[in-house]
Amino acid sequence: MLAYRHGFHAGNHGDVLKHLILAQVLAHMGAKDKPFRYIDTHAGAGMYLLADRFAQTTGEYLQGIARLWDRQDAPPVVAEYLALIRQFNPSGELVQYPGSPAIAQALLRPQDQMRLFELHSSDHRLLAAHFGHARNTQVVLADGFEALKSQVPPSTRRALVLMDPSYELVGDYGKVVAAIRDAVGRFAEGVYMVWYPIVRRSVSVQLPARLQRLAKKGWLHASLTLGEPNEEGFGMYGSGVFVINPPYTLHATLETALPWLRGALGQSERARYLLEHRAV
């Protein structure tokens, strides 16, 4: 796990789905006066230059944010996401891609809190340099699965937790379920957002159903399947986001965004999307 660097994957189709939904949830929570805490359990470096060796090694952003950059026909929710990413690229050229902490920082208010956890020492140093001096922000070198226990319930009594580990180790799937189960038990009112890759692994297929069983007060599941595994049967060919206690507006918002993203990002005729939810 400590070999994983999100810089290889920054701006890919998984980031597009994750950050579009994250921005919507953050905006909804910020519509109420009461402050909330944003908790990122696997924060990464927080900001990624697309010309550096990590992004250029894989070029994954070319099948993600780069395919949307010049589109003029995006539905409103996607246009809002693109406008947010353009704030980090004032020249108009796609130069860098913000990680989840940067997106959250752009949308949080002065009264809100941010807690960022990262276990990779190099990424933690970059994360601390970017965000360590920000008001109401703490950047911690720690295992986010374990650190979450100290964060819920928060003093604000409102929280959004984002959990998106590397999943390079198959055990991460079980750790996600265990950490969310513990957090929901401590703070059932929190909003919990889990990103996961669509890969040819049974644990990936089973993860949404396992999370459903933890969501007693409502959930939403959105996924984009955009391609096929490689010839060896490996590789991420889509991703999904599962939200426990989602904003009531999120399902309707994504109904227009997901079909458009399937068309814009799809890599085969079998590209498809899934949007399901249960409200209480």
Domain residues of the chain, as ranges?
A: 6-278
42-60 as b/e, with b when 16 or more CB fall inside 10 Å?
bbbbbbbebeeebbeeeeb
The predicted model scores a pTM of 0.96
Q: Which amino acid, residue 19?
A: H
Contact in structure between 270 and 224 (CB atoms under 8 Å): no
State residue 79's pLDDT score: 98
pLDDT at position 244 is 98
The number of angstroms, rounded, from the C-alpha of 185 to the middle of its chain's C-alpha atoms is: 22
Question: Which backbone phi and psi does 195 adopt, to 5 degrees?
Answer: -95, 145
The pLDDT value recorded for residue 43 is 97
Q: Can you give the pLDDT at residue 54?
A: 84
Per the CB < 8 A criterion, the answer to whether 156 and 35 are in contact is yes
Return the number of other C-beta atoms located less than 10 Å from residue 109's C-beta: 11
User: What is residue 1's predicted lDDT score, i.e. its pLDDT?
Assistant: 43
Residue 154: cis peptide before it, omega within 30 degrees of 0: no
Name the nearest CA neighbour of 246 among 274, 222, 228. 222
- Least Cα distance to 41 among 111, 127, 169 occurs for 127
Annotated catalytic, 164? yes
Digitized pLDDT (tens) for each residue of the chain, 280 residues in all: 456 788 889 999 999 999 999 999 999 999 999 999 999 999 999 999 999 888 898 899 999 999 999 999 999 999 999 999 999 999 999 999 999 999 999 999 999 999 999 999 999 999 999 999 999 999 999 999 999 999 999 999 999 999 999 999 999 999 999 999 999 999 999 999 999 999 999 999 999 999 999 999 999 999 999 988 776 656 899 999 999 999 999 999 999 999 999 999 999 888 999 999 998 7
Nearest C-alpha neighbor of 163 from the set 12, 178, 154? 178
Residue range 6-278, CATH number: 3.40.50.150
Measured CA to CA, the distance from residue 252 to residue 75 in angstroms comes to 13
Catalytic residue (one of 15, 164, 172, 182): 164
Cα angle at 270 between 266 and 272, to 5 degrees? 65
Rg of the chain (C-alpha set): 17
Type of residue at 81: Y
Neighbours of 221 (CB within 10 A): 21
